Amino acid sequence: MADNELVFKNAHELAALVQSRQVSPVEVVQAYLDRIEALNPKVNAFITVTRDHALQAARQAETEIRAGKYRGPLHGIPYAPKDILATRGIRTTNGSKVTADWVPDYESTITSRLNKAGAILVGKTNLLEFAMGSGVLSGFGPARNPWDLAYSPSGSSSGSGAALAASMVPLSVGTDTGGSIRGPAAFCGIVGLKQTYGRVSRYGVTTLSWSLDHAGPMTTSVADAAAMLKVMAGPDPLDPTARPEPVPDYTKALTGEVRGLRIGVPTNYFFDDAQPQVDAAVRTALRRLGDMGAQLVEVDVPHADLAASAGWIVAMGDAACFHEKRLREKADLFDPLVRERLEAASFYTATDYIKAMRVRTILMREMEDVFKKCDVMAVPGSGSVASKLPSPEIAKTDVHPGGAPYRGGNTFIGNMTGLPAMVIPCGFTSGPPVLPITIMFYGRPFDEATIFRVGHAYESVTDWAKRRPPVAYGPSDHEPAPQGPERWI
C-alpha cells in the first residue's frame, strides 16, 4: 500500500490494518512524517515535529504487536496534541515567546494515557498564544486553513484543526474554554468534542480558566473521537476536578440507529445570525435525522444570549490571575492582544465575576429544562464559515469589543454549563472558496455516548467527512484555487 493512501485513512481504519499486520506502525508514522514535512511550510500546523521520538516509538510498537502484545485501537497510531499540553522532555511553547523554550520535566495526564495506550506522538500543534491570542502576532505565526490558505482555521486549537483537515495527523488533542476545540472543528470540517467538565483530567494543561477549561479529542471521524475519549477519560489524583464517574465503552453507542431519539432544535438565539448556507445545511441535516427516525422537538434557552459575555468575564478574570506574574515580568513578550486582554481583565471587579457566575447558574438550570424535553440539542457548529486571516494591523484590535453582549457563536454556553458538545461536518458552501459547514450536538452531563450515537449515525449516511481540501497546491486570495477532482489531495 502506498504511503499516500495511509494518510487519508482515519484512525480506526489504520488500527484495523495495524492490528492485522497488513501495515506496520513504522510505515504509518513515516507516511505522516513525510506528509508533515511536505505541507507544514504551507499550513504551519506544527510548532514542533518529534521525528526521532516518533520513529523510535513506532519501532517499539511494531515489536510489541509482532509479539502479540497489542494494546488496543490506538496502538501504533500517530497523534499530535495542542502545544499547551506538557510533554516530558519535549518543548511545550504554549504558542508564546514567553515560554518558547520551556521543556517540562513532567507529562500531562492526557498524553501519558495516550502514550500508555500505544499512540505515537509525532509533534505538537500550533495555537493562539496561551489559547487566547491573535494567532497572527503570537510566537509562531498563524496556522492556515487547508480549504484555502488565506483563510483562518479558527482558534485557539488552530493547528490541530488544520493538521487534521490536511491529513497531517489522524488524531489530535485540543483545549476548549469558550469554543477552542469546536471553532477549529467547524472552520476546518473535522470532528471536535468538548466532553463534560470533569470527564478528562487537565493536569499538565496550561491554564486559561480554571473553571471553564476542557481538553478533548479532535479527529476526522466520530468513532475516532469515541476511542480517544475512552482512553483519556476518568478520575485522576493529580486533578481534583476530574470526576469519578464510570467511563463507558463508547463504541457500543455507535449503532447507526437514532429511531426514537429526541433532538431539540432551539427557537431562540442559536440560529439567529447563521449565514443562509449554514442555516440551510444544518436544517437539511436535521431533516435527514428526522427521516432516520429521530424526533425533532422545539426547545428554548431564554438567556443563551448572555452565555458568552458572562463567560468572557470568567475566562479573562481567571486568565489575568494565572498570568499575573508573567505579565509583570515579561509583558513585552506577549502578543499585544493577549497583553491588552489580561490588563483589561485585571480591572474586573469581584461583583463583575459574581454576576457572571450567577448567569452561569441560570444557564445550567435552563439547560436542565431543555434536556427534560430532548436527548440532544442540535445547533450550527458555527453560524458562519471560515473568514480570511486578519492582517497584523487588524489582529492588534480586540475582536471582542465592549458594548453589546458578546455572542461568542454557539459554543460558550457549553463551557458555562459544563455540558458535552460535539461538532461534525454537515455540508459545504458553494464557493469559491469551498468551505466546511458543521452541526453541533449538545448532551446531558456525562452522556457523551448519546452524542456519539447521533453523530455517528448521521456521519454513516453522508460523505461530508470524506471530502479533502485543496491544500497541496496552496491557493491564495490572489490566485483562486483550480477546481476539479484531479487537483484535490
Domains of the chain and CATH, by start? 3-487 (3.90.1300.10)
Residues 243-256 have pLDDT tens digits of: 999 999 999 999 99
Q: Is 249 exposed, middle or buried (0-12, 13-18, 19+ CB in 10 A)?
A: exposed
Q: What is residue 76's predicted lDDT score, i.e. its pLDDT?
A: 98
Contacts of 266 (CB under 8 A, 6+ apart): 298, 299, 300, 301, 304, 377, 379
Catalytic residue (one of 96, 138, 156, 209): 156
Confirm whether pTM is higher than 0.85. yes
Catalytic residue (one of 82, 124, 194, 230): 82
Catalytic residue (one of 158, 172, 180, 309): 180
* Helix, coil or strand: residue 460: helix
CA dist 171 and 126 (Å) reads: 14
Q: What is residue 389's predicted lDDT score, i.e. its pLDDT?
A: 93
CA dist 489 and 485 (Å) reads: 8
Q: What is residue 139's predicted lDDT score, i.e. its pLDDT?
A: 87
Gyration radius of the chain's alpha carbons: 21
Residues of the chain with pLDDT under 50: 399-406, 473-489
Q: Is 275 exposed, middle or buried (0-12, 13-18, 19+ CB in 10 A)?
A: middle
Q: Quick one: angle between helices 276-291 and 448-460, nearest 10?
A: 90
Between the alpha carbon of residue 14 and those of residues 59, 161, 200, 402, 455, the distances in Å are 16, 20, 25, 48, 21
Strands in 23-77 per DSSP E? 46-49
432 upstream amide cis, omega within 30 of 0: yes
Q: Is 408 exposed, middle or buried (0-12, 13-18, 19+ CB in 10 A)?
A: buried
Is 156 in the active site?
Answer: yes
Q: What is residue 478's predicted lDDT score, i.e. its pLDDT?
A: 33
Name the residue among 50, 80, 57 with its Cα closest to residue 169. 80
Residues 74-107 have pLDDT tens digits of: 999 999 999 999 999 999 999 999 999 999 999 9
Q: Which stretches within 166-292 are classed as H helix?
A: 182-188, 222-232, 276-291
Name the residue among 73, 72, 90 with its Cα closest to residue 81. 90
Cell match 469551498: residue? 434
Is 391 in the active site?
Answer: no
Report residue 216 as a C-alpha cell. Answer: 478533548
Name the residue among 463, 450, 464 with its Cα closest to residue 258. 450
